[in-house]
Amino acid sequence: MARNRFDIDENLESPFDIKHFRRAMIYIRRQKKPMIVAFLLSALSAAIALSAPLILQHVVDVTIPEKAVGPLFGWSALMLATIVVSVVLATIRSRIMTRVGQDIIFEIRSDLFKHLQQLPFKYYDDRPQGKILIRVVNYVNSVSDVLSNGIINFILEMLNLIFIAAFMFAVDVRLSLITLAGLPVFLGIMLMIKTRQRRAWQAVSNKSSNLNAYLQESISGIGVTQIFSREKRNEGIFTRLAANFRKEWMRALRFNALIPFSVDNLATIVSALIFLVGLLALGPGEATFGVILAMSSYAARFWQPILNLSNLYNSFINAVAYLERIFETLDEPVTVSDVPNAKELPPVKGHVRFDDVTFAYDPGHNILEHLSFDVKAGESIALVGPTGAGKTTVVNLISRFYNLTGGQILVDGHDISQMTLKSLRSQMGIMLQDSFIFSGTIMDNIRYGRLDATEEEVIAAAKTVCADEFIREFEQGYQTEVNERGSKLSQGQRQLISFARTLLADPRILILDEATSSIDAKTERLLQQGLNELLKGRTSFIIAHRLSTVKNCDRIMYVSDKGIAESGSHDELIARRGLYYRLYTAQKMEA
């Protein structure tokens, strides 16, 4: 799929329409009360500010000609008061809307994170992590101001236009019509660039997503980059992606800059026409100098809301590109979820049965076909075979990380597709080859899957998997802080901590996917002693390439050709001299 590449733009699966904006209004309505207060403060501030030109007109036409010094000071004090009150009200409103904007960010981001945690593995298989992260962080930041201040400012600027137009027509109708004459020109410009401007900001969104995806991938793989001396090559790729982003950004800004440029020039032309018509065309006695000054002031004020509205329009066009991405993520279907009326899986004994199971990651390319086998409670099953044969797929299906293409998987006779995910997975312990360590203490990492575990239980689990000794060698012991992904730990230490985390959950069904691949032979022998005790009474599925680690399993299944090619104990398969025998013999010769 194109969207799993950092150098290919993502195509929107659904274009923006008014429904998206209605959905955004859900977050706005939750902040209704503070937004109403902010709106009233803004309206009051604007109304007070609009009285200033009338005061100026009266002072120029009446107070100054009459040389009334006392009233002049009074009118000056009143004008100063309008400015002070207007600024104070605007400041209060700004503080309210800052809080509203942050609350909107919090709610959208929380909804996104909640949804991302529910999405199936398939979603993450198809996308770079960077393209997901940018939606939760950057895009949400970009739309917050439009969804908070933008709505109020739009209403206020529209009201400002109405108020200013009313004041203008009250002062002089003919000069007011001159002010309005520039509107058709401005609207024509807006209509002309609307579609191209939106596409330009969609392109910016694409290039930003690509850049972020490559940056995240490069940071995660910095070790491999340095091992193979790929720094210069990677710099070239990053430079190309950054240059593409800069190119699209500058192109989008040209459309944005065209609007204030048009407004400024139209406002200047209109102001000049007011003076020209007022002083020359109307003639003496037709319009006083105070009227002309008031009208030029109102004309400037009239075009200011239009400029503000055009800036809001720019912000809205930018935000639309981000809203599309945000809602596309929120609309991503949770394909692996609890079915309607899903039941709680009761405490399990561990009987697992595959009944004619077929599975494909992508339609038409089956990984498993008509797979059937039965595992009794307490049995230990080893899955072996060539890379890519489907061993990990089998255990992923038991945990229901993917939906089946066909057939059923039953645990203690219960179809797992009809059980709640939480009740199923809470009774399983899964140890993957990629041992992920979270930032925090070693104690926190082991306790991750069972938060109510005591320190004694955590330490007991660590001792069982032979992790206690190396943990106590750290100065802070179990309280040692580790970085994201456990960069301070060796791969073997990370696996042992993950082992302890899995075993602490005390699962009835245990899945070990190459769980000992990074552990040295001595530690593995010690670990095996603890595991043999732990596996008693539990159903276990063990994937291993080192066949010496699975010789003692109750049954070994050789996965090949979309199914189970051979099945039996180690001795039975050796005696059969088939696929397992050849694989085991080859490993012994290599050793």
- With beta carbons less than 8 A apart as the criterion, state whether 511 and 398 touch: yes
pLDDT confidence of 352, banded at 50, 70, 90?
A: very high
Q: Which residues, in sequence order, are CB contacts of 385 under 8 Å at separation 6+? A: 391, 558, 559, 560, 565, 579, 583
Q: How far apart are CA 549 and CA 584, in angstroms?
A: 11
Given the structure tokens 């009051």, which residue do they identify?
A: 44
For residues 331-345, average pLDDT: 89
Measured from the Cβ of residue 235, the count of other Cβ atoms closer than 10 Å reads 11
Long-range Cβ contacts of 352-355 (<8 Å, 24+ apart): 352/398, 352/409, 352/410, 352/411, 352/509, 352/539, 353/409, 353/410, 354/394, 354/407, 354/408, 354/409, 355/407, 355/408, 355/409, 355/410
Range of weakest confidence among 28-37, 147-156, 411-420, 469-478:
147-156
Q: Which residue has the higher pLDDT, 403 or 167?
A: 403
More confident residue, 54 or 412: 412
Q: Which of 147, 143, 27, 156 is nearest to 97 (CA)?
A: 147
Instruction: State yes or no: pLDDT of 1 exceeds 50.
Output: no
Q: Decide: pTM greater than 0.85.
A: no
What are the tens digits of pLDDT across the range 372-407?
999 999 999 999 988 888 898 999 899 898 999 999
- pLDDT band for 324, please (50, 70, 90 cuts): confident
The answer to whether the CB of 139 falls within 8 A of the CB of 319 is no
User: What is the longest distance spanned by two Cα atoms in the chain?
Assistant: 121
The number of beta carbons lying within 10 Å of the beta carbon of residue 257 is 11
Domains delineated in the chain: 2-330 (1.20.1560.10)
* The pLDDT value given to residue 9: 63
The whole-number pLDDT of residue 377 equals 92
CA 119/CA 497 separation, integer angstroms: 27
How many Å apart are CA 153 and CA 157, to the nearest integer?
6
* Predicted local distance difference test score (pLDDT) of residue 484: 64
At residue 103, the 3 state secondary structure works out as: helix
Q: How confident is the model at residue 2 (pLDDT cuts 50, 70, 90)?
A: very low
Cβ-in-10-Å burial (0-12, 13-18, 19+) of 569 comes to: middle
When mean pLDDT is compared across 124-138, 494-508, 542-556, the lowest value belongs to: 124-138
Token readout for 530 is 């603890």
Burial class (CB in 10 A: 0-12, 13-18, 19+), 317: buried
pLDDT digits (tens, 9 = 90+) for 413-452: 999 999 999 999 888 888 776 677 888 889 988 898 788 8
**pLDDT per position as a tens digit, 119-137:** 888 888 777 777 788 788 7
